[in-house]
Amino acid sequence: MQAGRDAKKDLEMCGAATDGPWEWSVFSRFIMGKDTVVATILEGDEVTSDIIAVSDEDAKFIVDSRVALPHWIQRAVAAEEEVKRLQTAVFDTYPQMITDRDNALIAAKKREEKLTEALQMVTRELESEGTDRQIARRMRKVAYDTLKELRFV
**Tens of pLDDT, residue by residue, the chain (153 residues):** 456 778 888 888 888 887 767 666 655 555 656 666 656 655 555 555 555 556 778 778 777 887 888 889 888 999 999 999 999 998 888 888 899 999 999 999 998 888 888 878 777 776 676 667 777 777 778 778 887 877 766
* 36 contacts: CB under 8 Å, gap ≥ 6: 18, 53
Query: What pTM, to 2 d.p., does this model score?
Result: 0.46
Residue 85, CB-side half-sphere exposure with 13 Å CA sphere = 6
